[in-house]
Amino acid sequence: MVAKASDLETVFVRVISAPRYAPDQAVAERIVSQAVGPTPYLALVYSQLPIDVQSFSQAGNLVPTAWAGDPLIGAEPFEVNWVRYTDYASRYFEGEKDAEMMKVTLFQALSPNLSKILSGEVGGGRRTRTWFHSDAPEVNQLPWELVAYANGFRAGTEGSFVRGIPPESPTPLVPVVDGRLRLGVIDPSGATSTAMRQVLSFAQIGMEVVPLSGDCRAALRQAVEQGVEVLHIIVSASVTTSYDGVLEFPGSSAPPVTSAELTSHLRGSRVRLIGLTPPAEDPSALMQGPYLKASAYRAFAYFATSPYPIPTFVAPVGPMDDAQVLGFWTTFYQELGRSLEIEVSMAAALRHRIVPVGLFLRQLQTATFKPVAEQPAIDPSAIEADLTSSAALLKQYEELGAQLGVKSKQFSKVVSTEHARQERLHENVSQWIEGVHEE
Q: Are 252 and 233 in contact (CB under 8 A)?
A: no
Q: Indicate whether 273 pLDDT > 60.
A: yes
Q: What is the mean pLDDT of residues 238-256?
A: 82
Selected residue with higher pLDDT from 89 and 356: 356
CA–CA gap between residue 434 and residue 431 (Å, rounded):
8
Strand 369-372 and strand 174-177: the pairing is: parallel
pLDDT range class, residue 35, cuts 50, 70, 90: very low
What distances in angstroms separate CA 217 from CA 3, 47, 265, one per listed residue? 34, 40, 8
% of the chain residues with pLDDT over 70: 85
Q: Are 113 and 66 in contact (CB under 8 A)?
A: no
Domain boundaries, the chain: 3-163, 174-370, 380-438
Q: Are 200 and 394 in contact (CB under 8 A)?
A: no
DSSP 8-class letter at 223: H
pLDDT range class, residue 330, cuts 50, 70, 90: very high
% of the chain residues with pLDDT over 90: 32
What distances in angstroms separate CA 179 from CA 15, 57, 175, 230, 275, one per listed residue? 38, 50, 8, 13, 20
Q: Indicate whether 293 pLDDT > 60.
A: no
Q: Are 259 and 306 in contact (CB under 8 A)?
A: yes
Element at 30 (helix H, strand E):
helix 25-33
Q: Indicate whether 13 pLDDT > 80.
A: yes
pLDDT of residue 39: 86
Three-state secondary structure call for residue 116: helix
Q: What is the mean pLDDT of residues 247-275?
A: 90
pLDDT of residue 23: 43
| pLDDT (tens digit per residue) in 66-108 | 888 889 998 898 988 877 666 666 667 765 567 888 888 888 8
- For the chain, counts of helices (H) and of strands (E): 17, 19
The amino acid that residue 209 corresponds to is V
Q: Indicate whether 433 pLDDT > 70.
A: yes
| pLDDT (tens digit per residue) in 192-201 | 899 999 999 8
String of b and e for 99-113 (b: at least 16 CB within 10 Å)? beebbebbbebbeeb
* Biggest alpha carbon–alpha carbon distance for the chain: 70
Selected residue with higher pLDDT from 378 and 210: 210
pTM: 0.88
pLDDT range class, residue 21, cuts 50, 70, 90: very low
Q: What's the whole-number average pLDDT of the chain? A: 82
pLDDT range class, residue 226, cuts 50, 70, 90: very high
| pLDDT (tens digit per residue) in 167-185 | 888 889 999 988 889 999 9
DSSP 8-class letter at 108: H
| pLDDT (tens digit per residue) in 108-158 | 889 899 999 998 888 777 788 999 999 988 888 889 999 998 887 776 667
Strands (E), 317-424: 357-360, 369-372
CATH tag for 174-370 (out of 2.60.40, 3.40.30, 3.40.50, 1.10.287): 3.40.50
DSSP 8-class letter at 234: E
pLDDT of residue 203: 65
pLDDT of residue 410: 74
188: closest CA among 266, 261, 256, 93? 256
User: Which value, in Å, is the radius of gyration of the alpha carbons in the chain?
Assistant: 22
Q: Indicate whether 26 pLDDT > 60.
A: no
CA–CA gap between residue 226 and residue 239 (Å, rounded):
31
Task: Compute the C-alpha angle 53/120/349, nearest 5°.
Answer: 160
CA–CA gap between residue 121 and residue 154 (Å, rounded):
8
